[in-house]
Structure 1
Amino acid sequence: MAPKNDNFAAEEARAIEIGEETGGGATGKKRRDTWTTRTGFILACVGSAVGMANIWLFPYRVAQLGGAAFLIPYLIFVALIGFSGVIGEMSFGRAMGTGPMGAFAKAVEMRKAGGGIIGKLIGLIPTLGSLAIAIGYAVVLGWACNYLVASIDGGLMAQTDMGAFFGAIASDFGNVGFHLLGLAITFGIMILGVSRGIEKVNKVLMPTFFVLFVIIAIRVATLPGAAAGYEYLLVPRWEALLNPTTWVYALGQAFFSLSLAGCGTLVYGSYLKKDVDTVSAARNVAIFDTLAGLVAACVVVPAVFAFGLDVSSGPPLLFITLAQVFQEMPFGNIFAVILFISVVFAAITSLMNLFEAPVEALQEQLHLSRAASVGLVAIAAVAVGLFLEGGSTVSLWMDVVSIYVMPVGALLAAIMFFWVCPKGFAKSQAELGHGKPLGPWFNFMTRYVFVGITAAVIVLGIFYGGIG
């Protein structure tokens, strides 16, 4: 029997060879698309992480759960998850050169020859979970598209009952045209591929998103009464840290905001070149995702306070409360347009990431073309999504997927990379492009802390009925 370290070296060499084959070269296989720049990859990952939850959920959590004190547990969990799970999913995808189904299969093969089919079946869980959450998320993108057009043509500012306006849109088959428009834009970009479509669009949309939100934040700062909102938001209420709920929701916000589900970050990582530093990339994603939430909070909470409205949770904060704020604000129509452009941008960049996992699976597992794969996923998105347009229906759908499927996908990916692959393999893959070895902290943080955190997210999500 060969020594253990020889086995590890052989398995690592075999995995690297597999990754090189999937990336193209002299093997005769079709070359796999890759990110053309590190910046493009980071912005795409930021785009996947920055979504509508940053705009409505993060401000609500901060305001209701201790103000600035909430940032303490939130930043702790962002650091723990970012430097374990995010690095892990990026590195796992790159090491295997494929998405969840292929990556899980290769991980199992490294442990037991002939076990690839089991790995593929397990990899279906995060892949289908990504498709399911994307189908629901597309409904919300359709709402945002409707609001954007209504803010441009003046219809939004003319509404006398914003709740009724939103209720009509968020009803069964109440927003079919804009729902299909959002999907058409998303799939139109995706069909161009990773480098020519997803990367190029994220390079434009993400910087624009931040610029537009800063513009709105500056305008909100000039509103009479906004100071009370800043005080409520930024003055720490330390007693909140004694409430376990604060820590639970800080964990949920950090976990789901960083887009961990064993699919999106993993599949984006599979398009990475070997010289990209995933440690640095994970840090940047965590930083910019947090900044997006903070900027959104500095818009939402002071604006709501300025007009004496409630900081309520859920989509109504964005589609009813904030819309009412812009109705009452001088030149509000202009800033409504800016806001909903930002919301649409954030939704599209997140949706591309969610749909990429099933698209990649069809390409790699069934050897379909990019166009055929996107087409099949689009058919599924329309066929199922149109029946989810009711607000309560899509909310239930999203809750079930986010509570029971997404964190399970993240846990399975973590087990595959950190436990099923040979010991030390994950660390060696994360070190590629980093320029220096990672300390012993990495194995402990990934194998024990992150896996434990992910298991806790599953349990707490079920107990609380959702924490993200």
Structure 2
Amino acid sequence: MKKREAFRSRWGFILACIGSAVGMGNIWMFPTRVSLYGGGSFIIPYLIFVVLIGSTGIIGEMSFGRATRSGPVDAFGSACGRRGKRKLGEGIGLIPVLGSLAMAIGYTIVLGWILRYAVGAFMGTTLAPQDIDGFAAAFGTMASAFGNNGWLLGALAIGMIILMFGVGKGIEKANKIMMPIFFFLFVVLGVYVVFQPGAVEGYRYIFRVDAKALADPVTWIYALGQAFFSLSIAGNGTLIYGSYLSDEEDIPASAARVALFDTIAAILAALVIIPAMATTGTRLNQGGPGLMFIFLPNLFRSMPGGTVVAMIFFVAVLVAGMSSLINLYEAPIATVQEKFGLGRVSACAVVGIFSGAAAVCIQGIVSGWMDVLSIYICPLGAGLAAIMFFWVCGKRYVEEQVNLGRKKPVGKMFYPLCKYVFCPVCFLVLILGIVLGGIG
């Protein structure tokens, strides 16, 4: 039997998981939510939910993957196989795998936009429009049906090349380079913004606590959604990365580091974007692609040294996006390897060709595509993985797997917290997303 690939070092694994978590949610949504829901009044519940999910869901998915040495299909099958229903479990396991593939296809389109703007920052085209309407028109053309074919295929090719090198030489090595670059560049931007006139108003807003906003259930709902989706809990990427871990690794400690650095990334983004908007006397109330591809480029154009700022910003966003993209593709690639016996390169080629064709075709509907996935599939995948591990596998099995590699066992409250709090939270996110049209 061929030996399963593995991460070569603890920090290689941690950086890969940080890379999977640090993405567009940190950059184009977290600062907006902080701005819309009272600054520190939003950050407080956000941190509470990060601690909850980091100390339950992330640990569970990592441990589940390591315990079964497989992706979601075989992991779910193994759980249900304990009760004589392996085929049922494998069928359910396809949900997070297909969800990961669909999310990766949509994310490929977004990364194509980012690649185009990153290269354009150096070529002079990104900041070429003369006003906000010009930036909006440029983005609208790019984001239309078949409007960015070459760039999205280029982004996909880069991701697949990294994945073809495997876990240690590809995913781990790439994240060891990309994550330090991301944090370094955002720190540079943060230092730059500090010295811009008017930035202090942005900092004052970020750290103020509005009692009314803090008491508003809406603030807590969107803080939950932000934390849940930012930490990449979906029953696929974190689980598959966990399957490449050795039994000597302390998973709860690794999960804590992932949650910490993901939070640092989100706070860094807020410390750059909100004060930058404040320098023009503008309150940040536009999130999503509009913020990144219309409002921020327009802002950079008016700032001293704006061209350099745009270069740094879009390169940082590109490496963050690429680290998330390779995580999203890893679960479907590993599943193709496991189920069809293909080699690494062949599996990447099959998934890459299919995904490239699909991404080119759905460019005009990518927003709705991603909304459906984030509202329905991601929380459903997370909830199903949680049920499989914490309910189907049982307390003894869970505690044995989580405590592997630890000097001190997890506390008595760990299992009840996972089973009776985290599992319902997954389905609460699903229900709230359906009712409110998305909270992630």
TM-score range with shorter-chain normalisation?
A: over 0.9
The match for 1:128 among 98, 109, 114 is 98
- For 1:31-71, what per-residue CA distance to the aligned partner results, in whole angstroms no more than 9, with x for missing partners? 11000000000000000000011011000111111111211
CA distance in 1, matches of 2:60, 2:376: 21
Q: Give the letter for the 1:444 counterpart.
A: P
Matched, 1:457 2:429: yes
Matched, 1:247 2:220: yes
CA distance in 2, matches of 1:402, 1:69: 24
The match for 2:119 among 143, 149, 156 is 149
Matched, 1:314 2:288: yes
Aligned pairs (5 A) from 1:346-385: 346-385=320-359
- Aligned partner of residue 62 in structure 2, secondary structure: helix
Q: Are the aligned partners of 1:110 and 1:422 in contact in 2 as well (CA < 8 Å)?
A: no
The aligned residue for residue 301 of structure 1 is 274
Q: Are the aligned partners of 2:233 and 2:379 in contact in 1 as well (CA < 8 Å)?
A: yes
CA distance in 2, matches of 1:415, 1:441: 17
Q: Are the aligned partners of 1:304 and 1:321 in contact in 2 as well (CA < 8 Å)?
A: no
Q: Are the aligned partners of 2:28 and 2:289 in contact in 1 as well (CA < 8 Å)?
A: yes
Q: 1:116 Cα shift? A: 1.5
CA distance in 2, matches of 1:422, 1:159: 59
The aligned residue for residue 386 of structure 2 is 414
- For 1:373-394, what per-residue CA distance to the aligned partner results, in whole angstroms no more than 9, with x for missing partners? 111111121121112222xx11
The match for 1:187 among 155, 160, 175 is 160
Q: Are the aligned partners of 1:214 and 1:295 in contact in 2 as well (CA < 8 Å)?
A: yes
CA distance in 2, matches of 1:134, 1:171: 19
Classify 1:309/1:165 alpha carbon distance in 2 versus 1 (closer, same or farther; 3 Å). Answer: farther
Matched, 1:325 2:299: yes
Q: Give the letter for the 2:309 counterpart.
A: F
Matched, 1:159 2:139: no
- Aligned partner of residue 395 in structure 2, secondary structure: coil
Q: Are the aligned partners of 2:25 and 2:229 in contact in 1 as well (CA < 8 Å)?
A: no
Q: 1:366 Cα shift? A: 1.4
Aligned pairs (5 A) from 1:264-275: 264-275=237-248
The aligned residue for residue 57 of structure 1 is 29
CA distance in 2, matches of 1:401, 1:236: 33
Q: Give the letter for the 2:256 counterpart.
A: R
Q: Give the letter for the 2:213 counterpart.
A: A
The match for 1:282 among 239, 252, 255 is 255
CA distance in 1, matches of 2:158, 2:125: 23
Q: 1:310 Cα shift? A: 4.4
The aligned residue for residue 34 of structure 1 is 6
The aligned residue for residue 377 of structure 2 is 405
The aligned residue for residue 233 of structure 2 is 260
CA distance in 1, matches of 2:44, 2:282: 27
Query: Max radius of gyration: which structure?
Result: 1
Matched, 1:448 2:417: no
TM (norm. structure 1) is 0.92
Q: Are the aligned partners of 1:309 and 1:321 in contact in 2 as well (CA < 8 Å)?
A: no
The match for 1:174 among 147, 170, 181 is 147
Q: 1:315 Cα shift? A: 1.1
The aligned residue for residue 197 of structure 1 is 170
Aligned pairs (5 A) from 1:111-126: 111-112=83-84, 115-126=85-96
- Aligned partner of residue 258 in structure 2, secondary structure: helix
CA distance in 2, matches of 1:38, 1:290: 20
The match for 1:431 among 396, 403, 408 is 403
Q: Give the letter for the 1:81 counterpart.
A: I
CA distance in 1, matches of 2:224, 2:11: 28
**Moved >3 Å (runs of 4+):** none
Q: Which runs of 5+ in 1 are unaligned?
A: 1-28
Q: Over aligned residues, Cα RMSD in angstroms?
A: 0.9
Q: Which runs of 5+ in 2 are unaligned?
A: none
